[in-house]
Amino acid sequence: MLSAIVRRIAYGALILIGVNLATFFLFFTVNTPDDMARLNIGGKRVTAEQIVKWKVERGYDKPLYVNPAREGAARYTDTIFWERSVSLFTLNFGRSDAESAGDIGHQVATRMVVSLQLALPLFILQVFASTAFALLLVMFRQTRFDAWGVVLCVLMLSISSLFYIIVGQFLFSRVLRLAPISGYAPGLDAIKFLVLPIALSLFARLGGEARLYRAMFLEETGRDYVRTARAKGLSEPRVLYAHVLRNALIPIVTSAGSYLPYIFLGSLVFESFFGLPGLGAYVIDAISNQDFAVVRTMVFLGSLLYVLSYIVIDIAYTWIDPRVRLT
């Protein structure tokens, strides 16, 4: 098992290198350091001296990949790619390209707390609510409750999350005044700002997840071990919770595990609409400002979290089902 984990880590490292190369290449295919300087300095009448000063301050005055003015290893290390991209593997994120922004590492550490406060409770509630709702539909399968439950799931997953946000903000903030429409406060005061986005995001995701889990549970109910359990006289709830749920955990873990990166990276849409200073809003601002330093950092962190999450999922398979072996 250890060798399989090491092999997956090696594959993950290759993926990170490929993503890093592609991000760097694509960004500088569209923009040049001069374009980035003009955008960040602002204004149409930007002098050549201002551009040179901006590039020197941020390390963009060097060649992209190879520095012909240097010899030996310095030909490759004294370049923009090495200093602004390879350094990511040491978790040295550097400084933002924006004039008003500072150290990216500090921003990531600070904003990640906000994203965790939003995404972690949402992740836990989503797994439990979707699983419980799906089991309830399976328990009353082929009844009106099951039929209307499936219709409700289809309706919920067919409606855009933007609709839930707009209606939720209007109803609970404008009309009922139960929660602030946007903003954030540290400490326990953050609860009143997080309740509404968590509830709306949960409702927006519930339909798709519950419908998926229902299909998996229904497939398990036709297995031989389920018929054997019923023949022994076990009640339907006992069959579902003690047997069906346990044997359907692998696809549930796969579905839930793929959501793990969002716990740290936050939700782009909900953080932006509710004014939460998390990593999702940080990414949106960086894309708007064409802040390459922040964009490549967040792309790298996203890729790293996805690689780690799927390694964790593979290990979890062996814990859930002893018959599974990593190869």
Q: What is the pLDDT of residues 244-261, one digit of tens each?
A: 887 788 778 877 777 777
Residue 27, domain extent = 2-90
Which residue is it, tokens 């922040």?
Answer: 294
Is residue 293 predicted with pLDDT exceeding 80? yes
In a domain, 97, yes or no: no
Domain count, the chain: 2
Same domain for 185 and 36: no
**C-alpha closest to that of 130 among 216, 63, 225:** 216
Q: Which 3 state secondary structure label does DSSP give 295?
A: helix
Average pLDDT over residues 24-41: 79
d(CA 134, CA 139): 9
In a domain, 253, yes or no: yes
Same domain for 254 and 117: yes
Same domain for 45 and 129: no
CATH number at residue 208: 1.10.3720.10
Same domain for 282 and 193: yes
In a domain, 254, yes or no: yes
In a domain, 121, yes or no: yes
Q: What is the pLDDT of residue 221?
A: 84
**C-alpha closest to that of 275 among 204, 159, 190:** 190
Boundary (domain end) residue, out of 90, 122, 145: 90
Same domain for 7 and 144: no
In a domain, 325, yes or no: no
d(CA 192, CA 326): 44
pLDDT in tens, 174-230: 888 888 888 888 888 889 899 999 999 888 888 888 998 898 888 888 888 888 888
Same domain for 126 and 67: no
Average pLDDT over residues 138-154: 91
H-type helices in 89-223, by residue range? Answer: 104-139, 144-158, 161-168, 190-221
Same domain for 12 and 64: yes
d(CA 112, CA 121): 14
- Specify the higher pLDDT residue, 50 or 138: 138
Same domain for 120 and 86: no
Helix (H) or strand (E) holding 302: helix 292-320
- Specify the higher pLDDT residue, 99 or 244: 244
Strands (E), the chain: none
pLDDT band at 100 (very low <50, low <70, confident <90, very high): low
Q: Which two tokens stand for residue 171?
A: 């109803």
d(CA 251, CA 212): 9
pLDDT band at 51 (very low <50, low <70, confident <90, very high): confident
Same domain for 60 and 194: no
Q: What is the pLDDT of residue 144?
A: 93
**C-alpha closest to that of 277 among 127, 95, 106, 121:** 106
Boundary (domain end) residue, out of 90, 122, 151: 90
Q: What is the pLDDT of residue 151?
A: 93
In a domain, 326, yes or no: no
**Are 84 and 76 spatial neighbours (Cβ–Cβ below 8 Å)?**
no
Same domain for 261 and 213: yes
In a domain, 300, yes or no: yes
Same domain for 124 and 86: no
Boundary (domain end) residue, out of 37, 60, 90: 90
Same domain for 313 and 169: yes
Up-side HSE of residue 233: CA atoms within 13 Å toward CB? 0
Q: What is the mean pLDDT of the chain?
A: 83
Return the bridge partners of 103, or none: 95
